[in-house]
Amino acid sequence: MARTPRRSGSNGGITKPDPYATAAATRKGKSKTTAANNIFKMNTDIGQHILKNPGVAQAIVDKADLKQSDIVLEVGPGTGNLTTRILEKAKRVIAVEQDPRMAAELTKRFQSTPATAKRLELILGDVIKIPELPYFDVCISNTPYQISSPLTFKLLATSPSPRTCILMFQREFAMRLFAKAGDKLYSRLSVNAQMWATVTHVMKVGRNNFNPPPQVESNVVRITPKKPRPQVSYEEWDGLLRVVFVRKNRVLRSGFLGTSSVMEMLEANYRTFCAQNDVILDDGPLDEAAAEGMEIDEAGADGEEWDGIMDMDDEDDLPDFFKEEADRKAKKLQDNPNRKKKGKVAELVRAKVKKVLETDTDLANKRARLCDEGDFLRLLYAFNQEGIHFS
């Protein structure tokens, strides 16, 4: 039997809602929400944890001290919670987003405001793989944890340097930026960050401020590049640190003279230096007497058995040269603990390295984890004076 529509009248003009229509609308709303969640399910494998707390987002932007003329680089904008606030204060935002879904959502967010959209430049891709970043004054990032280290190094190497960087990191990673010589977390990252910039803590951010919540707590730090920039080659400086921090608990004598891959790399670089500077090398083999006198154990003077290049404190910091040679070198050392006899150039480079470590710097018996910035600067200067380079 058909139902007669309810008319307003004695009930004072109030119409009661149809329960069937309400239920249908509720189901429809839920289906839309579920679909949206399926489309924008966060990919935590690439570090997608959206900052959902507006107060924290505003505090991060405020700490950047933005000017109306600033161009801001934002890494990992996600759905634009930080982007919106940055555009309120800056001239332009360059947002680098790897996920096409997030990039589409970010574009959609500003479609209704064409004037604002014109000030947003969206780059779809991996920020680490971009050969050269566009010019920017400030970097702000809710950093995907997986790229924390390479992004930090990329920003430190950027020239001209940005005025400041406000970056969100996993708490332990942030603590590595502040670590001093002798600290457990002291690493190549610590030395590099403090060489090229002043690092200060901004605030702690709990995991519940993100969607989905990460497994760890976060910290926001400010990295302010030093100006004027230290008059040191970044490639040379970082190359030295890559070598000494392969095993930061070994003495430097063992890290250099007791590691055949390091010596082979330095020999190759020395040959390149000589070729570029018209230095003639005697590339003949050593005579038997000299070769016998030069043989030393590959484990190094401290007697520590070396069990392969891959045994290190920061595997992410391992140079590509070492990765390619790792298996071959480890097997070679196991089969033959004595160093293979080398030619005259190899022994010349070995003599130069010994001179730098034992005579010029007196750092041969010091461990990398106990060396400070001044020690590494003395090492680099002495090596370069001998024509030995790390890049």
Nearest Cα to 64, choosing from 208, 223, 264? 223
Under DSSP, the state recorded for 264 is H
Dihedral, CA atoms, 146, 152, 157, 161, nearest 10 degrees? Answer: 130
97 is in an annotated binding site: yes
Integer Cα distance of 7 and 15 in angstroms: 7
Sign of CA dihedral 317, 329, 303, 386: negative
Integer Cα distance of 270 and 142 in angstroms: 42
CB 223 within 8 A of CB 193: yes
76 is in an annotated binding site: yes
126 is in an annotated binding site: yes
Integer Cα distance of 202 and 62 in angstroms: 11
317 is in an annotated binding site: no
Extended beta strands in the chain, E state: 50-51, 71-75, 92-97, 120-124, 138-142, 164-170, 197-205, 210-211, 218-225
CB 298 within 8 A of CB 337: yes
Integer Cα distance of 386 and 364 in angstroms: 16
**Which tokens sit at 95?**
């947002």
Peptide bond preceding 337 in cis form (omega within 30 of 0) = no
Integer Cα distance of 317 and 315 in angstroms: 5
Amino acid at 366: K
Integer Cα distance of 340 and 271 in angstroms: 19
CB 225 within 8 A of CB 161: yes
Integer Cα distance of 188 and 254 in angstroms: 18
Integer Cα distance of 2 and 326 in angstroms: 82
- List, as residue ranges, the binding site for S-adenosyl-L-methionine: 49, 51, 76, 97, 126, 142
- List, as residue ranges, the binding site: 49, 51, 76, 97, 126, 142
